[in-house]
Chains A and B, each alone.
Chain A
Amino acid sequence: MNKLIEANLKAVLEREGLEPKAGDLEQFSEIIELYVGNLRQLHSVDLGSEELAPVFRPEWK
């Protein structure tokens, strides 16, 4: 796995007090790298002033 992604994942796991299952980081390295790569595409589009999808509604139900 890409060293930076691996270090990032280990850091957030540690922050949450979690241990990865033995062998998982190797087993899942391909999907993790593909996912992180595609996350960058998510930011490739200029959304201008587009707001969030779930809009806060203040009324009582």
Chain B
Amino acid sequence: MAVAEKPLYYLTIHEAQQLIRERKLSPVELTQAVLDRIAAVDGKLHAYINLMADSALASARAAEAEIAKGSWRGPMHGIPFAVKDQLDVDGAPARVRQFTKGVGDATPVRKLREAGAVLLGKLHMSSMPGPELPLPRNPWNTDHITGGSSTGSGAAVSGGMCLGSLGEDTAGSIRNPSAFCGIAGLKATYGRVSRHGLAPLAWSLDHCGPMARAVEDLAHMLNVLAGFDDKDPTSSAQPVVDYTTALREDVKGLVIGVPRDYIDECAPRTAPIVLRRVDEAIEQLKALGARIESVKVPTLHLATIANAVIYYNEFWAANRNAASSVLASGAAQRRARIYLGLLTNSSDYIQAQRIRSRCRAELAQVFEKVDCLALPNQNGPAPRVEEVGPIDTLFKHVVPEYHGPFNLTGLPTLSVPCGFSESNLPIALQIVGKPFDEVTVLRAGYSYQQQMKWYEKRPAI
């Protein structure tokens, strides 16, 4: 669809920033269009838990005035975005903290604001404490879930209620809702995006990252988000590159590894349509000039349970002082994580860390022969709301699946749409790269996206 024919709220960040820079689109007009969209559809989608319309319009007016004076800050200037509630915002700390103070703006929020982006508000996350809020609904079919735990981030981007969002991923929470909602999502390398101001689930597994409609939008957001932050003890000082250099339609010569043994291990729990769509996507990458190699990662079958052990132990440690309150009144998922953390001893945690080392070493060997990996990103299309129990996610976390291994190893991982199920629900491909090689991951995803154009399809909400 031509840019001129699209509703403003469905522009990609890449399209909107070009129009804003050329002064063909006003940030105020764009922000108002998105706020109108929120008013029209969020009653059905329930993505926002804290809409900051007045401050968003004030930021948009400031952006407009600045750009009019010739002071364009960059591609995120004037772009409306929203954040998962797990990130602190000045005046709106993460609700999931419950018993600790927020830090003001989390570093990723601060960086986007300093780049001139317009903060629309905070988005629902699953297992939040406090009064029950309506569960976000999938814009492709509101009888279905969005995936979590960045539930609102998936619904808001997919439903045209922001141009980009921030999510957080400890065991798939950026990639899962990105897949279910038909958008792109990036869990960058651990340490690439600051965790300062992110209420912790598990310190060594938590990744903050961008979610948006198109791969190029993720590159624009990552250009702002990436970089060392002395407020995050695990932040990396690795040099930051310009991620938009990845935006070339070319995978010729790229070697893409497919961990067939691991996919076979997960296959009994994976819907056939997912495996079919992912195989089609891999064939398409081959047709575009990539070389496809089958690879083996012998210990990967233990990576998901190792990720879960580290997750629940660190969650227990992070929440120890609040545990009695969590058990008395917290969400079911949070209570269950406390019990599972308590049941794990130091030997289990140490063994999980040793498996982490082994998986990292095995993957390093694989990455001597390939540039990236391609594999599925979900067990099935988004289930219906009534099919999902309050702790179903935890069952996914303790048997081999597609997300946890890449939290465990901290590798950069992209979710990119690769088609639809028989019932028109989105399916996604997962592309995994070497540490800090987000460029290759984005390049493979962008080439595929530009060929297939799945991102141009819109839900009929």
Q: How many residues of B contact A (CB 8 A)?
A: 40
A12 touches B343 (CB 8 A): yes
Contact partner of B342 (CB less than 8 A), chosen from A12, A39, A47, A51, is A12
Q: Which of B331-353 contact A (CB under 8 A)?
A: 332, 335-336, 338-340, 342-344, 347-348, 350-353
Q: Are B398 and A31 in contact (CB under 8 A)?
A: yes
**What is the CB-to-nearest-CB distance from B215 to chain A, in angstroms, rounded to a whole number?**
30
Residues from chain B with a CB closer than 8 A to the CB of A31 are 336, 340, 391, 394-395, 398
Neighbour of A32 across the interface among B230, B302, B306, B339, CB < 8 A: B339
Assembled-state Cα–Cα distance A21/B204 (Å): 28
Q: Whole-angstrom distance between the alpha carbons of A21 and B332 in the complex?
A: 10
Q: How many residues belonging to A are interface residues under a CB distance threshold of 8 Å?
A: 33
Contact call A52/B332, Cβ cutoff below 8 A: no
Pick the contact of B339: A28, A38, A41 (CB < 8 A).
Answer: A28
Prevailing SS type, chain B contact patch: helix
A38 and B342: CB pair below 8 A?
A: no
Which of A16, A18, A54 gathers most chain B CB within 10 Å? Answer: A18
Residues of A within 8 A of B230 (CB): 61
Known: A8-B343, A12-B343. Contact between A45 and B204, CB under 8 A? no
The stretch of B354-362, B421-429, B446-454 in contact with A is: B354-362
Is B366 part of the contact surface with A, judged by Cβ < 8 Å? no
Chain A residue nearest in CB terms to B357: A53
16 pairs across A/B with beta carbons < 8 Å?
A: A8-B343, A16-B320, A19-B328, A24-B336, A27-B332, A28-B336, A31-B394, A31-B395, A31-B398, A38-B305, A38-B398, A39-B305, A42-B309, A50-B354, A50-B358, A53-B353
Seed contacts A31-B395, A39-B344, A53-B354; 14 additional CB < 8 Å A-B pairs: A16-B320, A18-B323, A18-B327, A24-B335, A31-B336, A38-B305, A39-B309, A41-B302, A42-B348, A43-B348, A45-B299, A45-B358, A47-B358, A52-B350
Binding site for A on B (CB under 8 A): 204, 230, 233, 299, 302, 305-306, 308-309, 320, 323-324, 327-328, 332, 335-336, 338-340, 342-344, 347-348, 350-358, 360, 391, 394-395, 398-399
Name A's B-contacting residues (CB within 8 A): 5, 8-9, 12-13, 16-21, 24-25, 27-28, 31-32, 34-36, 38-39, 41-43, 45, 47, 50-54, 61
Nearest 4 A-B pairs (CB), nearest first? A53-B356, A53-B353, A52-B353, A53-B357
